[in-house]
A = this chain, B = another copy of it.
């Protein structure tokens, strides 16, 4: 966990306080000298994660098959060699790679990182409008209420929800609403995005593609989600429920 300074709104009360967010790190597993997968993970129990992923991917059955494993907690890197397994020539391996990286991963390319620009939008949104929007967002989440297994993403002009999409995947829900905007040729740069799920760095990167200045979530952000939002001056709001919300970055766009 990482401790960061946030602004918390509870009803009319605005407090600057320290809060904790979950850490995420990019963790790469090299298998017999070849990159197997890079995934975002919490930085604990990385040996368990490495062996468990190889196990659940069908690449090993018992600990005896592990010839050597080293975990580098500075570079977030695992080097594993398995006994008697020539993975480079293994056809199954290719399928598994695809599977492995479906853990909720992965990096956007270097261009994303290099071309990060400060968001200079002067958009301002009254706190009350945000709470009203989230109330509308939550009451429209009918699939979640019925099945408990769906995430939502919506785009708003700051006054009302314009469009909303749902998916079992948190990333997919965001991509669906972005795809709607692209297809309808909507100017997304002056819109606000609302999401039901956690805000990891991947979600922030997706939203940044639109140049939108405000992202509001019902759930928590990760430390990297917050870092990326701060670097680019995106207003990131989490735990927006009832009369409460936490502002993690660029709070000047939220008017009390």
Residues of A within 8 A of B (CB): 1, 20-24, 38-42, 44-45, 47-53, 55-58, 60, 62-63, 92, 95-96, 98-99, 101-112, 143, 146-150, 165-172, 174-183, 185, 198, 200, 202, 205-206, 209, 219-222, 238-239
Contacts and interface: CB of A to CB of B under 8 A. Distances in A.
A92 B177 CA distance: 24
Q: Which 10 A-B pairs have the closest CB atoms?
A: A52-B179, A102-B105, A52-B175, A148-B220, A48-B179, A51-B179, A22-B149, A149-B220, A52-B178, A102-B106
A39 B167 CA distance: 12
B172 A42 contact: yes
B107 A41 contact: no
12 contacts: A20-B147, A22-B143, A45-B179, A49-B176, A52-B178, A55-B179, A55-B182, A58-B112, A58-B209, A62-B185, A102-B171, A148-B239
Q: Which interface residue of A106, A112, A147 has the most chain B CB atoms within 10 A?
A: A147
B20 A56 contact: no
Nearest to A35: B98
A28 to B, nearest CB: 11
Q: Which interface residue of A60, A172, A222 has the most chain B CB atoms within 10 A?
A: A172
A148 B6 CA distance: 15
Given A147-B1, A209-B55, A49 B172 contact: yes
A232 B62 CA distance: 22
Given A58-B209, A63-B182, 6 more contacts: A1-B143, A22-B168, A48-B176, A58-B108, A98-B101, A149-B198
A130 to B, nearest CB: 18
A110 to B, nearest CB: 8
B60 A182 contact: yes
A101 B238 CA distance: 26
Q: Which interface residue of A96, A169, A174 has the most chain B CB atoms within 10 A?
A: A169
